[in-house]
Structures are given as C-alpha cells and as structure tokens.
Structure 1
Amino acid sequence: MSATAVALLVAVVLVLALATALVLVITGGRRRDAAARAEVARLVADNNSLRERGEAAHETAELRARMVAHVSHELRTPMQAIMSLLALLDDHSLPLEQRQQHLNTLRGSSEDLLLLIDGLVETAQIDGKRPSPRADEFSPRATLEQLVDLLGPSARKRGLELRAALAPDLPPRLRGDRLRLRQIVINLIGNSIKFTRQGHVELRASARVEGGVARLAVAVGDTGVGIAPDALDKLFVEFARVGDLSLEGTGLGLSICKQLVEALGGRLDVDSEPGVGTTFRFELSMPLAAAPAAEAEAAADTRPRVLVADDDSAGRELLVTALRRGGYAVDGVADGAAAVAGALARPYVAVILDVQLPELDGPGAARQIRDVRGDVALIALTGHTEVDVLGRCKGAGIDAILIKPVKLETLRATIARVAAERSQAIDLAVIRGYVTAEDPAFVPGLIDVYLREAARDLDAMHEAAERRDIARVAQLAHRLKGSSAGFGARLLAERCQSLYAAACAGQGASDELAAVAREFARVKTALSVERTRLISS
C-alpha cells in the first residue's frame, strides 16, 4: 500500500472518530438537558404543591377563625336572654305570677340554647352547607313580646326605652323557624341598643294573610347615631364595622342576621339617616298553623275584651295583668296608631288610652276610633289636670278620664260602667218611663213617629250634603240630636252633635254623616225590638 493510501485511510479513521465523539457529546448534552428540565419540572410541581398546601392551611385557619366567631356570636344570643332573665328573677319584689312567667321563659331560652348547639353540630357535619329551616309551630305575638321583656332591662340600663308595636291582628299561630326568628330579632334589637345613646328602640310587626300563608313583616327602628350612606354597602360584610369603633362587637351581628333572613327566604333591608336613626326590616312567608286546643279555647273566649294603649311597657304590663285578673281578655299596644288599628279590627268593649302616646296621641286615636265605632268605651289615663287637655279628651269622644295614679278597682268599675252604657244603642229606662197603663199603645206609636221622622231627616241630610248645603245639614243634625236624646239614644245624639259642629265650622262632614247613619241603624234595631215587646206584653 502506498504512503498516500495509508495517509488517506488514517484521515478517514480520524474523521470517523471525531464524528463519533461529536455525536456522543451532543447526545450527552441532550440527556443532561432533559434531566435538568425534569428536575426543574419536579421543583415547580413541588413548589406548586407547597403553595397549594399553604393556601389551604391559610383558608382553613380563616374558616376556623370565622367558625369560632360565628359560634361565639350565636351562643351569645340565647345567653343574653338567659342572663337578662336571671337579672329579672333577682328582684325579690316580683309577684309570684310574674316570677313564674319569667321561669317559663328562662326554660324556653335554655331549650333554644340546646337547639342552637345541636344546629351548630349539624352545620359542622354538613361541612359548609346551610342547615334546613326548622318547622316549629309558634305564636308570633308571644315570641316577640318575650324578646321585648328580655331585652327591656338592657335598654333601660342605657337610659333607653324599648317599645313594641305589634299589630293586634297578628296570626295566632305560624309554622316556621321560631329559633332563627328569635336570633334575628335579638341581634337587631341588641345592635340598635348598642348604637343608640338616647331616645328609644322600637320593635314593630304586622302580617298580611293570603291563601293560608302569612307574610310576617318585622322592623326594628331606633333614634341612634344613624349610618352614613357610603357605609351602607359594607354594613352586612363579615367582620366589617361602621360607626363608633370604640363599642364592643365583632362586626358579625348584622352579617349573621342577613344570612339567617336569606336562609328563611327573606331579605334584610335598612333605612338610615345620620343623627336621626336607623330601621332594619325584613319579611318572611310562613304558613298559618292551627291553634292548639288551649289556644282555640282562648280564641273562643267569651270574656269581654279590652285594649290597653300605653308606651310605658312596665305600666302597660301592670294594667294588662290586673285587668286579666279582673276577668277581662286583654291586649296591649304601645302607640296610638296601633290602638286605632286594633280597635277597628277586633270587638273590644273598651279601649284604655294613655293621653301622651307616640305616633298618635290619646285624643287623636280616640277621635279616629269614635269616627267608626260608637259602641266601644274609650277611657283616658293621664297625669295632666289642665283644662285644655281634659277638654281635648272630651271633644274626641272619650267617655271617662282617670287621673294617674289610678286605683285598679276604680279602673275596673269605670270600664264596666262605660262599656255597659256604650253597648246599648238606647237607654231603655227612658223609653219605659213613658209607658202608662191607661194607653199601652202610646209608646209604640211614639217610636213609630220618631223612626219615621228620623229616617226622613237622615235622607234630607244626605241630599243637602250632595248639594253642599252645609247650613241645611247643620239644621237637620241639630233637630235629630234633640229628638234622639229624648228617646235615650245618647250615642246617636253625640254623633249628631259632631256632625252639627263640623257643618257649622264649614268642614267636610261626610265622615260624621256616615257615623250618624251607622248609629241610627243600631237605634232603629233596638227601638224596633222594644216596640215589639211592648205590643206583645
């Protein structure tokens, strides 16, 4: 082999060796790159896992803190009631009946606490899902009145008045989550007491019933510091606090209220004006429930029913208790507007009105009641002896005025006397005083003449009113007043006097004229019955 061939062969071998070495280097680099990439990927995955575990731990800690705060707040609600009741029971001067009532309420609050603990355990087991609303059967009036009694001492300790204005026609029984309703109202009242420095806190409730379902409307208003418009958006946010931050609180109360209201199918709304006050309101739909046998008996109670209107809860409760012991069925309201609504909705034999009532004072409430009902006794309670105050009461159709302090025996006797007078369209003693043995047909004939002429005068008054002949209306009202008084129809005579005064003053007298017509219908029925008796005897 020539030297040239050998050199060429060596060159080829070297080239192949270099190529092989280069291939090995490139392959090794790729393997190291893949290993490096794999290591980086593993580190990224590990980092992501650590971050996720950290975030989960943080969320768990937040949930645990929120749960502790919620549990603390929820447990404090019934505990507040229990502590308030224990403070009330510490008063050794309480009558036995009232002490027993507080003990029964304390027992109920303890049962509520146990139910709440069971609910919290259930909530924890459900792992974040809301517990289903309960379906208790309860009295909305009794439930809300208990809360006013429970929280009243807390309000008075701060120099505030806790009022209740519960509509007299609240359904006797509802089916719904009584425990959650109590929690909502206690939280709202407690919040209002906390942020009110002077004035009052008021609980209001009414209901609209349609097709066996009641739409229960509840509102809690106060005369507190109010809330600025720009703070309303965060009012229901957990742990957010607005207003005076120096006051106690976790910022959970209103958030919990909102959640509970929504869980029951309602919505919590708020109206507020800084320096004036705040009102929280919500509505819940609850089916009507049949009253238990004991309550059905109470509903069919034949005892005479009395309505007491007094904004002083302690004084009102005293009157209610005393009158119940005296044989009356008694309801209580805290303002004049509620007194009017109650008197027009239920067949009370008497309404007792404190002269200085909120919303609508005693004489104002009496006037509105008397415009519709002439058969109910109206009795005013007042500490005033001024002539103008007493005159306003008389002018509003109030039958009797009692000056505080009033003996309970005097009050009961006054109710019995005035209610008996008001229940009669005519005073039969007046009619029977005209009866003579010589002419038994005289009084029946007299009744015929009166009824015929009274009906004629009433028709003429309607015609004059349509012509807007107010002078003629006044003339006829005055004449009918005189003849009615002569027949013992005292209430009709009063109606005619009111119509006469309105006509003389040039005021619209349509309401007064309608009241005269209603009362005349009662008089006509009573006189017709008496006429038949006289003819038959």
Structure 2
Amino acid sequence: MRGSTLRVTAGWLTIAGLGLAIAWWSAERRRTALFQQLIDRAQHGAVAFASEDVAALTGTSADLNRPEYRAVKDRLIRLRAVSPGIRFVYLFRSTAQAGRVVFLADSEPETSAEMSKPGDDYPEAPNSPGLQLILRTHQPSTEGPLRDSFGEWVTAYAPVGDRPPPGAPRTVLGIDVSSADWRHELWVARAEGFGLIVLLLGVPYGAWLYRRRELAHSREVRRLSAAIQQSHSAIVITDIDRAIEYVNDGCTAITGYAPDELIGQPSRLLLPENADEVQRADLLRRLLSGERWVGETQMRRRNGELFTARAVFSPVRGPDGRVANLVAVIDDITDLKRSENELRIARDQAEAADRAKGEFLAVMSHELRTPLNGIIGFATLLQDTSLSSEQADYVGTVRKSGEALLALTNELLDYSRIDAGRMQLDPQACSPRQIVEEAVELLSTRASEKHLELLVAIASGVPAHVLADPGRLRQVLVNLLGNAIKFTPAGEVEVELAAVPLPPGPANEPRVRLDFTVRDTGIGIAPENQNRLFVPFSQVDASSTRKHGGAGLGLAISRSLVWLMGGEIQVASEAGAGAEFRFHVPVQVLENNEGLPPLPARRLAVISANSRARQHYATLLEGWGLRVDVFENITALPPTHVHDALLVDVLARDAALWPALLQSHRALADCPVIGLVSVTLPAPLRDSLRASFRALLKKPLRDSLFHAVLKNVLRE
C-alpha cells in the first residue's frame, strides 16, 4: 500500500514538474513574441512621422506654438488610439553634446497632468538599458518592466528617420505598455502551457488512477461478498422493519432454509413461536438507536428444531446517518454448549475426586503416622536395651525403615496440600541463625556417619529475629542438606546464610532478603538433567531411587514452599563437580524480644469471656504503652467508634458467630480487629474467619509476633 501511494505521488509530481517546465517555456515564448510585437508597433509608428516635421522641432517650449509640433502630437495621439494596449507614445531627442534626453512630444492630451512638454528632461534615461542601447546602435530595443516617475512599464524603442552622423541629435519613438498587462499575458501563457499538460497527461492519468481504484474496489467487494457468502456463520441482513433482504450460505447450512425461502420474509421466521415480543421490540429499539447487541438466544430451523445460537446484531447507517439496515451474525453453539456442560460435569467430578483425595491423604497420613510413631518410638526404646549385635541390627533396620516411611508420608501429605492449594504459611518471630543451626544439628549425625565435614557460615548482617515461617524454612533447608549429604560420598557440605537489605514494606517496616546456600562436593548433576530436579516424582535416573531411596518429591515441595514464601530457588552444578542450591525469601526484620519497645500511644479494646485472660492481655498491652479497655462481650462495646484496634479472644464454641457479630456493630466499620484463636481450631473454620479479621494469631501468643502485628496494624 505504501509503495503504491509513493508511485502515484511520483506520477503526479512528474506531471506537475512537466507542466511547470512547459509553463515556463510558454511564458518565455510569449515574452519574446510580446517584445517583438511591441518593437513592430514602434517601428511602424516611427515611419509614420515626416522627417521634416520632426526636424523642425527644437525640443524647447517654443515648439508648443509650431504647427509641426501640433502635427507630430496629433499623430502620436492617433497612434495610441489605434492600439488600446498602449499607454504612452512619445518622442525623445538625445543630444550628444549636452548629454540630455528630452521630450519632443507625447500622446497625452494637453489637459492631462501627465503630459510631458517639449524640452522636459527624461531623468530616468541613464537607468533605461533599452534607451541607451538604441542611442548607441540606432537599432530597435526593448526594456522592462521598469519603474519611472509615471509608473511601471514595458517599453519598446524605434529610431525615427535615418541614422544621423556621429554627434548629431537622435530622435527615438517610445511606446509604453502597462507591466500589469504584460505580466497578465505571461501568466495566461503559463496557465495555457500548464493546462495543456494537465489536459494531455493529468486527465488521462487521473482517469487511469480512478479506473484502477474502481477495479481494486470491485475486487475488494467481490472478496468481501465471497467471504460473507461462504462464511460458516449465518449472516442475515434485514431492513428496519425486520424484513429479510439477504442471507448467506452459512444461514442455509444452519437453518435449512433456502435463500429464496427467506428473502422478503419477516425475521420472526427464524425465531421460536413463543418468542417474547416485548424483548424483540426492546432489541429493535436499541438497534435503531445505534447500539450493538451480543448474546445467546434460541432460534428455529426449517424443520422446527430449536437450537442455541450466539448472535451479534449490529445497525448499519445509510448516507443520511440514519439506521437503514440490521445485520445479524449467528453461530450454532449447540455442540459447544453440550461440550461446556460435559466439561462442567468433568470439572465437578475432578474437584470431588480432588477433595476425596485430599481427605483420603489426610486421614491416611494420620492413620499411618500414628502406628509409625509407635514403631519408631518402641524401636528406639529397644535400642536402649541389652541386645545382641544381630538384634541391634534388626532393630536399627526397623527404626530406619519406619523413619523413611514416616518422611515419605509427610512428603505425600505436604505435596497433596500444595497441589490442592491448601498449604498455608505460619509467619512468626524466629531466628534465622537458629533455623540453620537446628537443621544442621538434625543432620549432623547422618553427615558424621559418612565422615563428611559439615560447615556453617552465617554473615554478620543477618538480623537476629525476622517474621517468617520457621517450620517451612527449616523444611526446605533440611531437604537441601539431606540431599547434599545423600549424594556426597566424601568431602564436605557447606551451608551459608546472608542478608540483603530490601526497600521498606507498606507500613515502612524494615525488610531483608535471606539468602540460603547449600554447597557440596558430591557427584553433581549434569546440566541436561537439571530441568527434571523440581518435577514431582522425578529423579535424575532410576539408579538414584534404587541406591538412595526417596519418591522424588523433596525438591518439588521445596520449590513450591519457596514460591509460597515469595522467593526463588536455583541450582548450579556439573557432573562430578558437586552442586550448589540457592534459595532466597523476603522477610520482615523484627527487633529483639528482650525489651520490646513501646508501641504508639493508642487505645485498644479487649473482648474475652475469660476474666483472667482479659487481665493478662490488659497487663501485656499496657506494658507496651497502650491504653486498654476490657469487655466481656461485644455488646458491651460503646456505640461510637473510640478505639484504634480491637482484640478478640475467639472461643471455639462461638467462632462461627463472630463474622456476623462484627458486621452488625457499626462502631467497628473502620476499626481493625485482631483475633486470637486456639491452635486446635479446625482449618476450615479458621479460614472462614480471615475475611473478618485483620490478623489471626494462635494461642498461646508469642510476644514478639504479637508485638509486631500490633505495630503494623496501628501504623495503618
């Protein structure tokens, strides 16, 4: 399209350039012709004067009374009269001795203010190139347009009489025409030249372009018509009275009607017999107002069968801007609706199966862990009794097998929770250093059994306490350490912990990124196998399962937990060169639990049915600098909003009632509410409370976490 536009523009520019060139040539040609015509007139006028009359003139005011002057002047007047385009006709005389050019006579009447008298000097003579030329050469000449004291003129000069001897006076006839008329003639010549090119080239070129555009438009119309006609969708065009004017092949295929059976018929023929006329009238009104309608509706085939259709009704405006036609694009979505229904049923069944799976795993994990804990516990007790070496080996095998089975059961339960989206974090005050130390201590025995050096490096910038889920952090770290020890036959395993500052959180709380690194000198992992590490139930090769055991869930669970905590996990390794696993999570930095700083001076309300609990919470909060009001129940709260936050001791027996109670109390509309719940409160019930509480804390409270939550809530 761009290339075509450039070619068309180039064509017009070429024609315009050629037209300008011809216009210039025509103007130059006309200029030459006009000069020649003017010279011819001057020469013809010059020969009309009797030499004795001209010779008798002295070029002084005394000539005014001479009959020769009168004869010359009358001839000049007649000469101007027979040539309407001429403004002035006059005679000059040049005297070489005096170096003057004076008027002898002109064509102006004696009553004219512009009349030049005999002997009047022509002051512009030195600046008149044509006049100077004829005085030198005694040959006709032209000049102009030039401006003098009488106006702007184009002038022709012709000598009068024979060429005088050198030094003798010379008489010259001058003819002036208006420069405006002269320029008009040149512009007419230019216009004629340009118009000729436009007529010869521009008009045919424009006609060719118009024809080409019409042909392209016709092709587009044919293509559009073919596309509409062959569309699988039914396309129906009606007038504003809903009489059908056009249907395509798709309409025939969907409805079963031939085009001649529909054209001219009302569109109601395609609708169910019980179609709502009120809705149809409302739809027509909206379409006539220029609106577009998209939706699903019931339609009827030729055999009377009803089908579900997705339809788009659009108004089409005529040249006057009014709606002239209505266009409907209709698709039969009966099969689609059937498929959607089947998918909906399949989804419901899958969700039911998923719920059943989750419930089964939860029950089975409990049922399995109970006896396994018993087996492991009694195996441990047996190891402390007097056993033979063979018996000790048997008991050790039983204990290790039980621990392996318990770990697998826990992994399956975690994976099922993550897979179902039910895994929830439990953020609380914790020590990153303590998490690392506990994980290392937990696996130190296993590392010692393989004679591995277990190293720990914690950077000095790691905060003492952060707000995070210590259990899940420990779980990820234990999994990575366990794998490192498992796949390192000799050498060392190193754990590093560092902290990178982050921008403050929404409440301007300090935040850091904890970077955990587990590095080993083990067998390593080939790059082509690393993409399988985090796939559930997948290991690098089958020999790993036979040699080291495991279900291939640990790293998949670890990655999901890290993601859940807002972090990332990465691996860098080569076969035979060890492996390095890194993961980082953002956390909020907490102050040390010892000597927690005072909170902002705010007023809190505490609701608890237990009087001792009320006293405990009041004492704790007042120690942090808060004003506290205690109430036995929510009905005792004042009707107006006077508290900055509300602390509610939620008992299990009435936990389900609290959302409605909080909503019904108008004074709590803008008051943040913190709930204290029992650790044994069922998870579904606890989840149902989250929408009504700004925060839910488990009892017994951890002071550092409680302090941090209050600090954030009161800052909001």
- Which TM bucket (shorter chain)? 0.3 to 0.5
Higher helix share: 1
Q: Higher relative CO (CA 8 A, sep ≥ 6), structure 1 or 2?
A: 1
Higher strand share: 2
TM-score (norm 2): 0.27
TM-score (norm 1): 0.35
